[in-house]
């Protein structure tokens, strides 16, 4: 009889942008292609997930939930369905519970939200714990928010109770030398003891894992010769101001510019950017790229917001980057950018000081190459398979110490 393969499920909310989806996709890839040879089911709310089919390893599939979006003031609503939020959350919760009941994961990795969006994972987590088979992992990016905001939100959603009752470990995709959330957030011993820092996720592996069928976006842009100035704004939902400033900035004489707007930027803003590109032969505007790491690898300079994936990309490829972080609804991007700026790993411009002239001046500066030189742990994707193996090998009573 063929032994049962390891089943791993990943919950990837994507209320703002595609960062969670991309992060969990590369995690799924490295686990599937490790000694585990796992069968993976990702639960995501980005319907764009279907375009990542060439990046998915054999034996991986997705369940796509109705999407949510979050405004600048932090209020969520259905992204596409004309239904009350409560009904959409109920639909999502039932879908997740049914999928995992049939899939029976050995490992369930929940990204960012211990109870899911609006507690949609509560019944699923109870179902999993009652069955007694699945190890539950909470995966967190390096920075969550200001400490006071994290304390407020975790108290409101009773996250500590959920972690205590349902989770075997917390994997932090960061380096405590840059930001140690145990100290910053003063987590109680019951939470702190479950935290394992993995290291940042080296995005060079994404291009390697996407396989020979991955399409190089560089080839389709018909770009003139010269240096590439790349502007990245994540999913684009809150990136209009940066993209507009970049589109109006004077490019260095020997360069050209590319803006990746993301799929969630407003149609009006995309139209304005397209009109500017139509009269500027050295500017291109692209709505969506499956694998932006290929453009980052070619870029001479990167101007972007301070999301986890964008920062990991510029660090992985050692690119000179100017980060213009968002300041609401969370200050996570500002905190991350400030820490890396203080180490000399990026340049930073606060949103209030953003204008085309400032961007033009930075692009025109003569900057030395950026070198990581061991100043930051980028080995997260090498660590995760070993951590998963240890967790799966642990008995229920020893899983917390895996």
pLDDT > 90? residue 236:
no
Tell me the Cα Rg of the chain: 21
State residue 19's pLDDT score: 81
pLDDT > 70? residue 397:
no
7-200+379-401 CATH choice from 3.40.50.970, 3.40.50.2000, 2.60.210.10, 3.30.70.3280: 3.40.50.2000
- Give pTM, 2 decimals: 0.94
pLDDT > 90? residue 50:
no
Instruction: State the DSSP H helix or E strand holding residue 285, giving kind and residue range, or none if neither.
Output: strand 283-286
* CATH 3.40.50.2000 location in the chain: 7-200+379-401, 214-364
User: In angstroms, what CA-CA distances link 140 with 97, 111, 358, 369?
Assistant: 22, 6, 33, 30
Fold of domain 214-364:
Rossmann fold (3.40.50)
Q: What is the DSSP string of 133-198?
A: --EEEEEEES--S-HHHHHHHHHHHTHHHHHHHH-SEEEEES-TTT--HHHHTT--HHHHTTEEE-
State residue 271's pLDDT score: 96
What order do you get walking across the sheet with 283-286 strand by strand? 283-286, 255-260, 227-232, 301-304, 320-323, 347-348
State residue 209's pLDDT score: 62
pLDDT single digits (tens) 260-303: 998 889 999 999 999 999 999 999 999 888 888 889 999 999 99
Query: What number is the average pLDDT over the span 211-228?
Result: 72
């Amino acid at each position: 009889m063929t032994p049962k393969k390891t089943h791993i499920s990943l919950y990837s909310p994507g209320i703002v942008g595609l960062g969670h989806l991309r992060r969990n996709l590369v995690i799924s890839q490295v686990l599937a292609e490790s000694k585990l040879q796992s069968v993976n089911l990702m639960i995501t709310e980005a319907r764009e997930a279907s375009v990542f089919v060439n990046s998915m390893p054999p034996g991986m599939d997705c369940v796509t939930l109705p999407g949510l979006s979050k405004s600048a003031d932090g209020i969520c609503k259905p992204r596409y369905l004309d239904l009350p939020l409560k009904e959409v959350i109920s639909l999502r919760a039932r879908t997740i519970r049914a999928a995992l009941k049939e899939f029976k994961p050995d490992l369930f990795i929940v990204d960012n939200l211990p109870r899911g969006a609006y507690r949609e994972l509560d019944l699923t987590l109870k179902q999993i714990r009652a069955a007694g088979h699945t190890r539950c992992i909470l995966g967190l990016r390096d920075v969550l928010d200001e400490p006071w905001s994290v304390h407020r939100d975790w108290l409101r959603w009773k996250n500590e109770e959920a972690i205590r009752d349902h989770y075997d470990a917390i994997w932090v995709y960061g380096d405590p030398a840059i930001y140690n959330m145990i100290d910053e957030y003063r987590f109680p011993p019951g939470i702190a003891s479950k935290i394992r820092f993995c290291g940042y996720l080296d995005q060079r592996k994404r291009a390697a894992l996407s396989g020979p069928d991955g399409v190089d976006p560089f080839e389709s842009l018909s770009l003139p010769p010269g240096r590439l100035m790349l502007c990245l704004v994540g999913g684009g939902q809150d990136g209009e101001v940066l993209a507009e400033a970049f589109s109006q900035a004077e490019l260095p004489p020997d360069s050209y510019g590319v803006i990746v707007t993301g799929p969630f930027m407003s149609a009006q803003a995309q139209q304005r950017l397209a009109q500017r590109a139509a009269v500027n032969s050295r500017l291109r505007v692209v709505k969506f790229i499956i694998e932006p790491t290929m453009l980052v690898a070619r870029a001479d300079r990167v101007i972007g917001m301070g999301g986890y994936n964008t920062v990991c990309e510029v660090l992985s490829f050692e690119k000179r980057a100017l980060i213009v972080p968002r300041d609401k609804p969370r200050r996570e991007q500002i905190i991350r950018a400030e820490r890396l700026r203080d180490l000399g790993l990026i340049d930073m411009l606060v949103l209030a000081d953003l204008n085309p002239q400032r961007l033009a001046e930075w692009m025109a500066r003569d900057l030395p190459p950026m070198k990581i030189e061991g100043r930051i742990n980028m080995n997260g994707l090498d660590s995760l398979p070993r951590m998963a193996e240890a967790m799966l090998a642990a008995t229920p009573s020893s899983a917390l110490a895996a």
